[in-house]
Amino acid sequence: MSDLHGRHKVSLDRNGRLAIPAQFRMALPEDQQNAIILTRGFDPCITGYSVDSWEEFESLFYESDMTQKQFDVFEREFIGRKHNSPFDKQGRVTLPPHLFEFAQLKNINEVIVIGTKNRIEIWNPELYKEFRPDQEDVIEEMRTKLKPSRKKSDS
């Protein structure tokens, strides 16, 4: 998953199935387009990875200098919730109950699916709407740190 981008509203059926947009499925490495690895996000959403992206994500933790307590939490919360979700013929995945509950998707019939370069995020639209104002503060902070490049003109 090297170039996942965009945002889609997707129907979620009462059985916890949703169609991952074709744009995202086709962005998976060719030999990994039959399933996606789902787990909890750092935020209240579900994240989805290709096998390659999952291995990169996991290695970030194994190569960090976390405390044993932090590492235990990583293993319980991310690896312990990891679910290999095959795509059906319609490109749908079934969200496992523990992730469905974590992302607060009960009584929701539409979700937001966001591509974020190497993963997707599946959000309850109301939670995402509540989460967004905090993001604006971060965006403003990032803006103040950016230094535009000034190209010299050929005079």
d(CA 135, CA 113): 17
Over the stretch 106-132, which tens digit does the pLDDT of each residue have? 999 999 999 998 999 999 999 998 877
Across 5-25, average pLDDT: 92
User: Which pLDDT belongs to residue 131?
Assistant: 79
Domain span at residue 54 reads 4-143
Residue 80 tokens, joined: 């312990």
Domain holding 115: CATH number?
A: 3.40.1550.20
For residues 13 and 88, the answer to whether their CB atoms sit within 8 Å is: no
- pLDDT, residue 110, reads 97
d(C-alpha 68, C-alpha 3), whole Å? 33
In a domain, 63, yes or no: yes
Residue 64 lies in a domain: yes
Rounded to an integer, what is the distance from CA 145 to the centroid of its chain? Answer: 25
pLDDT tens for 40-77 read 999 999 999 999 999 999 998 888 888 999 889 999 99
Confidence of residue 153 (pLDDT cuts 50, 70, 90): low
Q: Record the pTM.
A: 0.85
Residue 29 lies in a domain: yes
Split into its structural domains, the chain has a count of: 1
Per-residue pLDDT for 148 more than 80?
Answer: no
C-alpha span between 130 and 52 (Å, rounded): 32
Place 6 in a pLDDT band, splitting at 50, 70 and 90: confident
> At residue 145, does pLDDT exceed 50?
yes
CA dihedral 19, 85, 4, 72 (to 10 degrees): 140
